[in-house]
Structure 1
């Protein structure tokens, strides 16, 4: 870690204390001048460091994306996972896929304050303004052949649901497969992309992208404003760092055991669709029916005029309220 990161980590370990430049220098093995320069660099980057004469420095919470701040809420094992944070990227998923091609160590996490070419399912544009959202991708290398894809996608949605609940107390709704809704508006989309090894034709890596509208923004196109919302309409109750840390924790907790499907009762309990009439788009085909349930492999079960039908893929394009 750089001197700045070490300094920030040390201040985070003593949230209520002022730490003098002399003490910080001794702890980090650098001069007081180096400490002063690191403090100025952190302030220039947007961190709020309170300075008190004859006492030293103290960290004040701010919503600047920061690996040391995120790590403070992670268990020691998870805190070792590389967090790659960027002011701006075209797309965190694309960056993660490039890293996979370069055979980087996995798992890794890629986070951007802003995306200039963010995308969702079917390549749809995902508006990703700075300081207003969480744009992150997890790069994984499955230890075993990837099976139960329906369970994995529903597990990711459940992990984000749990993270929001744990940090804010807010209960959101889940739209199959993995969109999250709050106050009848979409606030989060999840896009999983598999990378196939050319020689073996087996899945070598998995990229899971999470795009969450954290705070309201005027940049949402007018035609989407009745459909797209945000977790917070006014002043956020938490920081993005806190929610990112919770998402990481909840995801890796579920990732170990998602095959057993134990989380599905929770997923069903907060489903936006069960019991409702919907239209499902699958390729060029549209199917209308009433959602009976989400089955034990994460598939959508529809009751249609043709009888009961089960779908492992597709997109619910309309919910008939």
Structure 2
């Protein structure tokens, strides 16, 4: 943890108190001059730090993405989780994949305030404007062979669902396999990418990307505004940091046992598709049918003209209400 992060953590832990440069210096083992320089650097980075003569410094709440603020609400088992936060990245998934190629520590988290080349399934552009979204990737090194990547993706959707519910009380809808909807519009997409070891041909790393429209943005292209929404249209009652903490807490809890599928009953309860007539695109083939259920391995089960069929991949392109 850098000096700036340590100093910010001290201020965050006592938000109602002014802490003098001398107090901060003693706590960190640095000079008052070093404290002053760190304070100025934090201000330049966008943090709101109130300065009062003869009393010191006090933290003012902000929605600036911050490792200390995220860490403040993480479960005790995650306090050492590496958090890499950037003002701008081309793509958090790409940064995580680069770290995997360099054999960096895992798990670790990559978060950006803005993505300039964000992408979703099939390489589609994911618009990622600054200060309004959560763009987050989790880099994992599986301890054992992964046989249920599809089930893991459904577990991630459930983790985001639970995090939103726990922090805001809002209940969103889940569109198999990787989208969350609110008030009829998509607000979140999930993209899981596996990295295969060349020699063993086994999955060596897994990157899970989460893109969530947190607050309404005027940057969303006009042609997408009828389809794409945001969790909040007005002033959000929570910060992005708080929701990120909740997502990570929920994900790592589910990750321990996701192969057992215990979350699937809750997933089905909030499914946007069960009972609906849909069109599924799988490669060049279109299949139309009624969604009967999501089965124990996370597959979409359709009642079609030729009987029951299960699909582990594909994209639901139409929902016929």
1:258-295 deviation digits (Å, cap 9, x = unpaired):
01111001101100001111110011111111111111
Corresponding residue for residue 29 of structure 2: 29
Matched, 1:87 2:87: yes
Q: SS at 1:242's partner residue?
A: helix
Corresponding residue for residue 8 of structure 1: 8
- C-alpha separation between the residues in 2 aligned to 1:229 and 1:163? 18
Corresponding residue for residue 207 of structure 2: 207
1:119-158 deviation digits (Å, cap 9, x = unpaired):
0000000000111111110000000000122211110000
- C-alpha separation between the residues in 1 aligned to 2:2 and 2:94? 27
- C-alpha separation between the residues in 2 aligned to 1:83 and 1:149? 24
Q: SS at 2:64's partner residue?
A: coil
Give 1:114 shift. 0.7
Corresponding residue for residue 46 of structure 2: 46
Gaps of 5+ in 1: none
Gaps of 5+ in 2: none
Corresponding residue for residue 279 of structure 1: 279
Count of residue pairs brought into register by the alignment: 321
- C-alpha separation between the residues in 2 aligned to 1:278 and 1:173? 16
Q: SS at 1:50's partner residue?
A: strand
Q: SS at 2:281's partner residue?
A: strand
- Of the structure 1 ranges 50-59 and 239-248, higher mean CA displacement relative to structure 2 is found in 50-59
Corresponding residue for residue 236 of structure 1: 236
Corresponding residue for residue 296 of structure 1: 296
Corresponding residue for residue 19 of structure 1: 19
Q: SS at 2:90's partner residue?
A: coil
Q: SS at 1:191's partner residue?
A: strand
Corresponding residue for residue 158 of structure 2: 158
- C-alpha separation between the residues in 2 aligned to 1:313 and 1:42? 45
Corresponding residue for residue 59 of structure 1: 59
Give 1:40 shift. 1.4
TM-score (norm 2): 0.98
- Of the structure 1 ranges 154-163 and 142-151, higher mean CA displacement relative to structure 2 is found in 142-151
TM-score (norm 1): 0.98
Corresponding residue for residue 257 of structure 1: 257
- C-alpha separation between the residues in 1 aligned to 2:273 and 2:110? 31
Give 1:67 shift. 0.7
- C-alpha separation between the residues in 1 aligned to 2:6 and 2:247? 24
- C-alpha separation between the residues in 1 aligned to 2:262 and 2:77? 23
Corresponding residue for residue 102 of structure 1: 102
Corresponding residue for residue 227 of structure 1: 227
Name the Cα RMSD after superposition: 0.9
1:272-321 deviation digits (Å, cap 9, x = unpaired):
00111111001111111111111111111111111111111100001111
- C-alpha separation between the residues in 2 aligned to 1:13 and 1:311? 49
Q: SS at 1:319's partner residue?
A: strand
Q: SS at 1:210's partner residue?
A: strand
- C-alpha separation between the residues in 1 aligned to 2:211 and 2:78? 21
